[in-house]
Structure 1
């Protein structure tokens, strides 16, 4: 509506309501030509030229997509190959009478323009589109089609755009259910939030390629001159199986080989091994032009636009941990004052939905442990020294709070935690929980039968603790005890005995004869003497230790039973098999009742009892015992644990023939 003044005076126009087209305000008009706004140019043709090397590792999912009409959402980390999979599906969908449309959905202009273009392909007129119900029109006409059709909405990362005139989760947005028997909708997105998508689509999480497929994808790009498969495998693992990273590395190597040697720079990587070494030294980066970083930055910006303001800080924190899944219980909000528990959980969920992190349970023989994992390249791109220090502190606090790497029931947690403890190198000023964490890591590795790795952790700690925190510190004694014990595990008996005797001398001088640490050291020295063949010294030491433990702790205490067991072994090795057998049986009864039938100590006693039975000539009964112990050790410790392997060897020796 308008208000007109005197001729030549001011014109005051008031425009209300929704407006489309052109609004003109003027006092006097002699001649007026109004051009309607030119529509944004769009294309809904698939980008066939982007389809290159064979698509690796996606065949099962690809077959399912092509066989199941409906709406399917492909979501995952930027660079994981969502668009490539959709393009391959579009290529295979092409056949006579099939219709394929490709709509870019990363901004409102392309999405709206693309869907209007699809509507025109379906016969919509200008009058139809002017009615302002394009979404309803498109889905009515798509549902009515009986011939095969495929609609791809690519890069639909901002799900608010898919709401369009209605609400995505309610089925009134730009993506809807349909009734076409041969109609397929594919949406590629970073966001796999099932709440936002609703019950409409089938969600498919795209993960990095498994090793074999990653190697093939890398070789597809790099060509035949880049090196052997084992080197390609090592590089593929370093790149985390991420298709875009594999493509980048492969193209780089191929480009080097396209040039004559004369035109290659000195030291320029030309093989998988060279490229891997250059990555390690920082001479080259997977993300040389910043493509990956930009993709991941877009995901973080999207999270922040939705109110997940702590997602960036949490991602940087996670990047400070080692290249391994992080147990969720390590992320204790009490030690993260900048975030409440609810905010921390929301940030983790946001990172998971956008594919920047993965929330899952580790499962296996160790049981389930909730963890969060980063892709190694995401970790590298966001890692800082400050985050690394904070991550080590959090992991160490979790280790100190638990403090039970020997507990079989907690092995899943420790298996997930230890990789984050291995980089900890305590110095003179390090708080005690860092020392505890480093020692717990070595203790866990030793108990898992990984003696070489345990030695590599414990030897430096045993040596540095004396110098840095003093020989009388309780953690120094612990470090030296663990180091000596793993020497015995490695079969370095003479070296271990010297270490054990030195440790006993220190304990006697500083702590006294019956102190708990001294007793453990004396028991260790007795075992070392026995393994070195000095049975008299071993018997005397074991008897003395057993007497003190029995007097102070009682006959059924674990330490008392261990000392009694050591004595039984010495009796056995001295040739009194009957006496040793009786002792094993008595000890086994108590351990079964107090520790449980599947505790490692109980199984060790039962193994030794089987040996005594075999030495007594009861081979069938011995074989039955070995079988039972082997089954339990495999279940509790794993088939590759040295104790399980030792039982398997003894069983084989006992069986007839």
Structure 2
């Protein structure tokens, strides 16, 4: 790992506030996004607040619909703010599959679901939506749940069902004390059935729109009548009004350079907008289509970018277009926007860190992006700094004709950026998980864009595929096997199209997919996938190539888990013989296969043979790799497990304590391997009847695993179950 990568890991590792509950979305309403004054929504806000605060039998589901940029989220936020002192309020974003799933999982935790329930639901073995709604319906107090940006109906409905059926994420609360508030663009009464009330969040009147402009700019930009005229042309769209107000607030500070004509007033902005947007003159008020609204927003932010150009700032425009290719999720711009990579791009051109910061600040000043600094004890943590785009600003930029024409170039820049960052982050390493939490949605979004592009660059495809594969590995490390499988299959679709079925990267992804299928308990599917990969690797690489032998080793592990012990042992022996011949006795792959073969002795209850083999492997690993190498420590732990299984608990405890001491020194006291050893030590203490000590150890491991791995990780669930099964501790000193 290079120094830069090490620095990234060091900074992220020192940020515990971002490392808790990896992959979880906050379910606290983002009240900081509220404007100082909300104009033109008094009646709607009062009606919704009354519906939330007072128990009404019907309806308990309110759908706020309206065109993009109409202020639906602002209305929902204000209702949530008013309700928060009287009841629990939860906020879940449905902008994408990841954010919706993570938010609902966090909600289940907040509602009191135990670790085993969550693991079953989010591994696909039970219904996650049933779990959440059973907990909501069981509450006896008032509560409010907001599901924001619920535009994708397929995410809301159950598999092979409809939203109106009320069995997906959106349901009618059984209690008159619960309220569900949903924001989305489309009205579509057929989607909701009869149990939801649809409420239009319409454009603002000219009078209210003028007040929004005056709130932002003040009277220096012109009269109230001028503001009303501009608000009319902006169709009372709050997002457009915000962009125009931010523009005028910025333009008043622009010097009157020779050859420039600063737009400083409502009237001047209106004239300029009309010269760019002829549809304003030809479409009757109230009859604008979505395309017209999007074009209006495009013209508005283009005027803002023109202002920056007039100020000599040319880099914000390509930066905004670049950012529009990322997902509807917080963007960790300190990690992703590397001036060295941007400078090599013809889209952005030479740029320094200082220039990059100024360009982003300029975009934020004009309300084109929102920059957020998250609370963190370490101000040097790059993940504390994120930015976001309004969904409509993202969409209009992403689909701008000039951007579509240059999409391969933008994807090339982002591919290089993603590759540089993710290549330094081991998805299996908890220290890297906070970064993956932010990066995974963008890796998926970029891969999806790449898959729909006409002109796909081979190197860009490889870089983005590897980043997306890393995110799949991350989901697998968290125990989110179903999500990992989905990501692997998306990566495979691109790899097969661009680099071919037989490419090493494609085979690596298929190999990891098979690993995930095995973890999901889908052993037949895993076997099929491993056999297919093995056939290609035998043909392309040869029978005794190292990767071919690794696949054979993993296939034998599937046999073992299927209970086909004779086949597994025979294959482990065959692989081991080939590895000894081609790789040598002290090669890491050879030693791993020896450990797998030793495990066959263990499951076959040949404990003496298992002990002898593990001792011999451990001696070889210590000579070849060193006492503190990870594989040496794993084998040492396996030896301790055999001793415990033989009933030699005193010896097992001593070995576990030796392993624990080494792992704490080498890996740290909260590394997953360290926690595994501590869990096994606790089990050994329990087997000796020292239950108070065992309970103390299990509790410490459980707290650490919940914090580092998340409460729904299989290892966390294992420790929670072990703790629950312990009898009440006798009165013994701890």
Give me the TM-score of the superposition, normalised by structure 2: 0.49
Task: Please give the alpha-carbon distance, in whole angstroms, between the structure 2 residues aligned to 1:619 and 1:347.
Answer: 61
Aligned alpha-carbon RMSD (Å) = 5.4
For residues 49-102 of structure 1, give each alpha carbon's deviation from its aligned partner in whole angstroms, at most 9, with x where no partner exists. 998744543369899xxxxxxxxxxxxxxx9x9996997799xxxxxxxxxx99
Tell me the residue number matched to 2:358: 346
Aligned residues of 1:360 and 1:370 also touching (Cα < 8 A):
yes
Task: Please give the alpha-carbon distance, in whole angstroms, between the structure 2 residues aligned to 1:451 and 1:153.
Answer: 42
Please say if 1:490 is aligned against 2:523. Answer: no
Aligned 1:425-504 pairs, distance under 5 A: 429-430=458-459, 433-434=463-464, 436-458=466-488, 482-483=512-513, 485-487=515-517, 489-492=519-522, 495=526, 498=555, 500=557
For residues 398-443 of structure 1, give each alpha carbon's deviation from its aligned partner in whole angstroms, at most 9, with x where no partner exists. 212x243344333322221222333548999547655643443233
Aligned in 2, Cα 1:153/1:518: closer, same or farther, shift over 3 Å? closer
Tell me the residue number matched to 2:583: 512
1:157 to 225, 230, 247: 247
1:395 to 415, 418, 431: 418
Aligned in 2, Cα 1:528/1:591: closer, same or farther, shift over 3 Å? same
Task: Please give the alpha-carbon distance, in whole angstroms, between the structure 1 residues aligned to 2:492 and 2:601.
Answer: 23
Tell me the residue number matched to 2:631: 559
2:434 to 385, 393, 412: 412
Question: Structure 2: 5+ residue runs without aligned partners?
Answer: 1-37, 46-74, 84-184, 186-200, 228-241, 257-263, 270-285, 344-348, 399-403, 528-553, 558-567, 730-734
Task: Please give the alpha-carbon distance, in whole angstroms, between the structure 2 residues aligned to 1:295 and 1:599.
Answer: 51
2:719 to 623, 638, 647: 647
For residues 313-333 of structure 1, give each alpha carbon's deviation from its aligned partner in whole angstroms, at most 9, with x where no partner exists. 001111122332232222111
Q: What secondary structure is seen at the aligned counterpart in 2 of 1:372?
A: strand
How much has 1:653 moved relative to structure 2? 0.9
Moved more, 315-324 or 451-460: 451-460
Task: Please give the alpha-carbon distance, in whole angstroms, between the structure 2 residues aligned to 1:392 and 1:364.
Answer: 29
Moved more, 568-577 or 585-594: 568-577
2:323 to 302, 318, 327: 318
Aligned residues of 1:556 and 1:590 also touching (Cα < 8 A):
yes
Aligned in 2, Cα 1:323/1:460: closer, same or farther, shift over 3 Å? closer
Specify which structure has the higher proportion of helix: 2
Aligned 1:246-265 pairs, distance under 5 A: none
Aligned in 2, Cα 1:533/1:374: closer, same or farther, shift over 3 Å? farther
Q: What secondary structure is seen at the aligned counterpart in 2 of 1:336?
A: helix
Aligned in 2, Cα 1:530/1:285: closer, same or farther, shift over 3 Å? farther
2:335 to 329, 341, 348: 329
Aligned in 2, Cα 1:332/1:110: closer, same or farther, shift over 3 Å? closer
Moved more, 345-354 or 155-164: 155-164
Tell me the residue number matched to 2:561: none
For residues 275-330 of structure 1, give each alpha carbon's deviation from its aligned partner in whole angstroms, at most 9, with x where no partner exists. xxxxxxxxx95765633333333332333333321111001111122332232222
Aligned in 2, Cα 1:360/1:155: closer, same or farther, shift over 3 Å? closer
Task: Please give the alpha-carbon distance, in whole angstroms, between the structure 2 residues aligned to 1:631 and 1:455.
Answer: 28
Tell me the residue number matched to 1:549: 621
Aligned in 2, Cα 1:645/1:87: closer, same or farther, shift over 3 Å? farther
Aligned residues of 2:243 and 2:300 also touching (Cα < 8 A):
no
Q: What secondary structure is seen at the aligned counterpart in 1 of 2:77?
A: coil
How much has 1:355 moved relative to structure 2? 2.1
Task: Please give the alpha-carbon distance, in whole angstroms, between the structure 1 residues aligned to 2:643 and 2:357.
Answer: 58
Task: Please give the alpha-carbon distance, in whole angstroms, between the structure 1 residues aligned to 2:610 and 2:523.
Answer: 13
Aligned residues of 1:580 and 1:612 also touching (Cα < 8 A):
yes
Task: Please give the alpha-carbon distance, in whole angstroms, between the structure 2 residues aligned to 1:601 and 1:580.
Answer: 17
Aligned residues of 2:598 and 2:610 also touching (Cα < 8 A):
yes
Aligned in 2, Cα 1:439/1:290: closer, same or farther, shift over 3 Å? closer
Give me the TM-score of the superposition, normalised by structure 1: 0.54
Please say if 1:111 is aligned against 2:111. Answer: no
How much has 1:626 moved relative to structure 2? 0.7
Tell me the residue number matched to 1:294: 299
How much has 1:583 moved relative to structure 2? 2.1
Task: Please give the alpha-carbon distance, in whole angstroms, between the structure 1 residues aligned to 2:580 and 2:359.
Answer: 54
Please say if 1:585 is aligned against 2:657. Answer: yes
Tell me the residue number matched to 1:58: 78
Question: Higher relative contact order at CA 8 Å, sep ≥6: structure 1 or structure 2?
Answer: 2
Task: Please give the alpha-carbon distance, in whole angstroms, between the structure 1 residues aligned to 2:619 and 2:688.
Answer: 29
Task: Please give the alpha-carbon distance, in whole angstroms, between the structure 2 residues aligned to 1:581 and 1:598.
Answer: 20
Aligned in 2, Cα 1:53/1:464: closer, same or farther, shift over 3 Å? closer
Q: What secondary structure is seen at the aligned counterpart in 1 of 2:385?
A: strand
Please say if 1:633 is aligned against 2:655. Answer: no
Task: Please give the alpha-carbon distance, in whole angstroms, between the structure 2 residues aligned to 1:632 and 1:85.
Answer: 55
Task: Please give the alpha-carbon distance, in whole angstroms, between the structure 2 residues aligned to 1:290 and 1:560.
Answer: 63
Q: What secondary structure is seen at the aligned counterpart in 2 of 1:441?
A: helix
Task: Please give the alpha-carbon distance, in whole angstroms, between the structure 1 residues aligned to 2:40 and 2:509.
Answer: 62
Aligned in 2, Cα 1:609/1:476: closer, same or farther, shift over 3 Å? farther
Aligned residues of 1:102 and 1:153 also touching (Cα < 8 A):
no
Aligned 1:523-542 pairs, distance under 5 A: 525-526=596-597, 529=600, 542=614
Aligned in 2, Cα 1:291/1:310: closer, same or farther, shift over 3 Å? same
Task: Please give the alpha-carbon distance, in whole angstroms, between the structure 2 residues aligned to 1:450 and 1:436.
Answer: 19
Q: What secondary structure is seen at the aligned counterpart in 1 of 2:719?
A: helix
Tell me the residue number matched to 2:388: 373
Task: Please give the alpha-carbon distance, in whole angstroms, between the structure 1 residues aligned to 2:713 and 2:435.
Answer: 18
Tell me the residue number matched to 1:356: 368
Task: Please give the alpha-carbon distance, in whole angstroms, between the structure 1 residues aligned to 2:475 and 2:674.
Answer: 20
Aligned in 2, Cα 1:339/1:437: closer, same or farther, shift over 3 Å? same
Q: What secondary structure is seen at the aligned counterpart in 2 of 1:359?
A: strand
Task: Please give the alpha-carbon distance, in whole angstroms, between the structure 1 residues aligned to 2:395 and 2:244.
Answer: 27
Moved more, 286-295 or 81-90: 81-90
Task: Please give the alpha-carbon distance, in whole angstroms, between the structure 2 residues aligned to 1:637 and 1:299.
Answer: 44
Question: Structure 1: 5+ residue runs without aligned partners?
Answer: 1-46, 64-78, 91-100, 118-151, 167-173, 176-186, 191-250, 256-283
Aligned in 2, Cα 1:154/1:608: closer, same or farther, shift over 3 Å? same
Aligned in 2, Cα 1:598/1:539: closer, same or farther, shift over 3 Å? same
Aligned in 2, Cα 1:59/1:594: closer, same or farther, shift over 3 Å? same
How much has 1:160 moved relative to structure 2? 5.6
Moved more, 506-515 or 449-458: 506-515
Q: What secondary structure is seen at the aligned counterpart in 2 of 1:360?
A: strand
How much has 1:593 moved relative to structure 2? 2.0
Aligned residues of 1:404 and 1:410 also touching (Cα < 8 A):
yes
Task: Please give the alpha-carbon distance, in whole angstroms, between the structure 1 residues aligned to 2:411 and 2:508.
Answer: 26
Aligned in 2, Cα 1:560/1:164: closer, same or farther, shift over 3 Å? closer
Aligned residues of 2:425 and 2:432 also touching (Cα < 8 A):
no
Q: What secondary structure is seen at the aligned counterpart in 1 of 2:416?
A: helix
